[in-house]
Amino acid sequence: MTWGLVVMVLIYTVGHISGAHFNPAVTIAFASTKRFPLKQVPAYIVAQVVGSTLASGTLRLLFTGKQDHFLGTMPAGSDMQSFVIEFIITFYLMFVVSGVATDNRAVGQLAGLAIGSTVLLNVLFAGPISGASMNPARSLGPAIVWKKYKGLWIYLVSPTLGAIAGVWAYNLIRFTDKPLREITKTSSCSFLKTIAPK
């Protein structure tokens, strides 16, 4: 619940300033489709990793002794299992992000809710398997602070590939520039003809 709500709140808070790019995989994916300036990618990634590292460092300072637990992501099963899970959930996340945040036919005010809910759902079913990172910076920050790098490559590579696949998949179905009203009208007419032909 916390992960999804935090993402939702931050999207509504800083989305109009930075585009709410908290995730290098999302930034790289958008750059691959020219929906984000390529020259700004390095600065965004540095900011994302520094933010994650500082947040992880703060938590480690606050929770010491018996409360000092590694807050990063590690595979619960095999590396391949976590790799595939991370690819799927990041694909799903990026597909939703592309739909609600880049398509002007979508209801933009619901973007934060849709993306936060997607993160929440992904965490619910993938958390016990891979940690449900979906974000290279989210995994890299804790790894640096706790100096635990086992399986880190999974969380750097798989979410990035999943996000790129997700944004390109959405672009493939972005098949028309018609206004939403016209699409809905056309779809409704086709549906009515199907169920009630003359």
> Looking at domain 2-195, does it have CATH number 1.20.1080.10?
yes
The SS3 of residue 198 is coil
SS3 state at 85: helix
Question: Model pTM?
Answer: 0.85
Q: What does the CA dihedral 166, 171, 175, 178 come to, rounded to 10 degrees? A: 110
HSE-up (13 A, CA, CB side) for residue 157: 9
Instruction: Tell me the pLDDT of the chain (198 aa) as tens digits.
Output: 888 999 999 999 998 888 889 999 999 999 999 999 999 999 999 999 999 999 999 999 999 888 899 999 999 999 999 999 999 999 999 999 999 888 777 767 788 999 999 999 999 999 999 999 999 999 999 999 999 999 999 999 999 999 999 999 999 887 655 555 554 444 444 434 444 444
Residue 106's pLDDT is 72
